[in-house]
Amino acid sequence: MPANTLRPPLDGIRVVDLTRILSGPFCTMMLGDMGADVVKIEGPNDGDPIRGIGEQRDGLSWYFASFNRNKRSITLDLRSDEGLAILEQLLSKADVLVENYKPGVLARMGFTAAKLDEINPRLIVASINGYGSTGPYADRPAFDFVTQAMSGFMSVNGDPDGSPMRSGPPVTDLVAGLYAAFGIVNALRARDLNGLGQRVEASMMGGIMSMFAYLAADHLATGKVPLRQGNDHPISSPYGIFSAADGDLAVAPSTEAVLRKFLAALDLSQLLDQPEFSTNALRVKNRRAIHALIDKRLGQNSQAHWLQALNEAGVPCGIVQDLHQALNDPQTKQQEWVIDVEHPGHGMVRMLGFATKLSATPATVRRPAPEHGAHSTEVLAEWGVRVPARVNADEQQRSSEAV
């Protein structure tokens, strides 16, 4: 069957999206990319704050556009009884609810776990938060910078003699959104098997802590706290940033076999015969000395020369690109990691593409990011939601203004 006649993986899945800013919208964007019908619920006056943040072109935030594609927007006043009644109807017909409120907010709105089970026992309820819904930090406000600090993530980033360093991208937001999407897909599969929905939770602090890999494993085994190593690898040497004649190279010879290929390509195999470099432990201890010898050799030729030689030898390496270079790299273009999406009234918007590739049912952009409240009348009618006459008139007015 041709790929364009196949249903996307999440076709027919209805998602009520109560999220804003980044972690939640990133999660629901991924669900939308895979075919889910994502309905973004925004306040009647302000909407998602990201609409007004970041670079604006023709009145459109490209930041907002990048994380809210494949969604429809409706406006509801969730501080009113009418708005809550409409939300209840939507949830009764939905497959998934995603929210990134502080723990307890949804329950205070009247949607306790028991109430949600009563409304729709097949509903998947996904919560994204800073620290989890239980424990001493559950009620704390969270922000990426703070959860990077609290998780220990910042403590292992930066130069050995410098201060702890955050990552440039808001990594704890993004990891939490990714885990939430993963959890939702698993919960949908479990519902297929068992007939009932369940709760999914992903936290910013817990998500990033799960990424510590060997750093956590070694600490749990020894009790030793890992130190900042800058661009050096804490347990492998030589490894890191080296200098060719015309710029830096990132080289990662992470095993003994690859290290031998690396040194052979540089005509430096004899270094392993020297007592101070004969084992990995000794090379880590004498890291500066072996790096200096490798830099001296690499400095005799260009980045292009060494990239070709090392890649042909099977040594992982690359140049240190800035964001412009990376986003315009030929590999980026081939893989469509950056895509162009037409936004009516705003022109073409460039944004990050799809990191996950499915051969038969790939992710697609079916809709650009929505105007505030543009689909209120359409969605409520399509989902068969009964709307009080006064509210219906207000929603129709906002919808026509948004369009």
pLDDT for the residue 397: 52
Sequence-separated (6 or more) residues with CB below 8 Å from residue 370: 40, 68, 71, 72, 73
For residues 258 and 204, membership in a common domain is answered with no
For residues 110 and 162, membership in a common domain is answered with yes
For residues 290 and 373, membership in a common domain is answered with no
The pTM of the full predicted model, rounded to 2 decimals, is 0.92
Burial class (CB in 10 A: 0-12, 13-18, 19+), 99: buried
For residues 254 and 201, membership in a common domain is answered with no
Q: Give the closest residue to 184 by CA, choosing from 130, 125, 134, 132.
A: 125
Instruction: Quote the CA–CA distance of 351 and 139 in Å, as a whole number.
Output: 34
For residues 194 and 283, membership in a common domain is answered with no
Candidates 219, 233, 291, 324; catalytic one: 233
pLDDT for the residue 399: 42
What is the CATH classification number for the domain harbouring 91? 3.40.50.10540
Instruction: Quote the CA–CA distance of 318 and 22 in Å, as a whole number.
Output: 30
Angstrom distances, CA of residue 161 to CA of 151, 219, 230, 240: 21, 21, 9, 17
**Residue 49 included in any domain:** yes
pLDDT for the residue 327: 97
Amino acid at residue number 23: S
Q: Is 233 a catalytic residue?
A: yes
Render the burial of 137-152: b for 16+ CB within 10 Å, e for the rest: eeebebebebbbbbbb
Domain end call among 292, 325, 358: 325
For residues 257 and 179, membership in a common domain is answered with no
**Residue 186 included in any domain:** yes
The SS3 assignment for 353 reads coil
For residues 84 and 158, membership in a common domain is answered with yes
Name the stretches of the chain with pLDDT < 70.
1-4, 389-403
How many structural domains is the chain composed of?
2
Q: What is the mean pLDDT of the chain?
A: 94
pLDDT tens, 247-293?
999 999 989 999 999 999 999 999 999 999 999 999 999 999 999 99
**Residue 229 included in any domain:** no
Domain end call among 325, 351, 367: 325
For residues 320 and 339, membership in a common domain is answered with no
Q: Are 395 and 376 in contact (CB under 8 A)?
A: yes
Percent of the chain surpassing pLDDT 70: 95
> What is the residue range of 190's domain?
3-211+334-402
pLDDT for the residue 400: 38
What is the CATH classification number for the domain harbouring 286? 3.30.1540.10
For residues 250 and 367, membership in a common domain is answered with no
For residues 169 and 260, membership in a common domain is answered with no
For residues 12 and 125, membership in a common domain is answered with yes
**Residue 389 included in any domain:** yes
pLDDT tens, 186-208?
999 999 999 999 999 999 999 99
